[in-house]
Amino acid sequence: MTSGNRYLGASLSTDLVRIAEKKAGKLISDRFFSPDDFKDLQHELLIAIWQAMRAYELAQKPIINKQAFAQDVVNKRAINLIKKAQTQKQGKDVSIRSLHDSIGDNEDYLLIDTITENSTFCEHKKVSFVEQMEFDLDIKLMVDKLPDDLKELYRLTQTMNITEIAKVTRKSRTTIHKKFEILKSRISKILADRS
């Protein structure tokens, strides 16, 4: 795959551009990147080459073989791009925040201050004790009819999120999420029947 990109005025030879283009072509065959990412990957790799060469020039270090130097820089940057994409796909870049963390520059304004009774995750109507007992019984009956793996998932969802359940059960998050969707649809059916 070749790119229509032109780098006029850049201090990179066509050989160095070809190295980045070739590596970008290999990266799009990886499961983390698509052909649509080709130009972006090529730009990332060219920037890495240019920055590394610029750092050597500023440090007044001679580069004996520019192609070998560029190949090394491109390989290292490609490894980092794959690791970053892998981390994003696996959800490892998710950070946990406290409700008491400050928002923005104002340390007096906390995340918990943004939660109001009108927030979507705080929506609930007041139900009577009897209605709540009936609902709990409906859920219990529904759970009793589930296969064992879904019963276990329901039990785990009471105290853990999908990522934690995946770690504990040693199953992929996708598998857990699919089963969770089944649970959710069954509970939604019960809620719809009650309305």
**Looking at residues 8-26, what average pLDDT do you find?**
81
Give residue 105's pLDDT band: very low, low, confident or very high (50, 70, 90). Answer: low
Contacts of 49 (CB under 8 A, 6+ apart): 12, 16, 19, 20, 70, 73, 74
Least confident of 62-71, 92-101, 110-119: 110-119
Give pLDDT, residue 122: 45
Distance CA 154, CA 181 (A): 11
Close Cβ partners of 190 (under 8 Å, ≥ 6 residues apart): 135, 138, 139, 142
The domain over range 124-194 is classified in CATH as 1.10.101:
no
Residue 34's SS3 state is coil
Tell me how far apart the alpha carbons of residues 86 and 32 are, in angstroms, rounded to a whole number. Answer: 7
Domain boundaries, the chain: 14-90, 124-194
Q: What pLDDT does 7 receive?
A: 52
d(CA 122, CA 119): 5
Tokens of 62: 């001679």
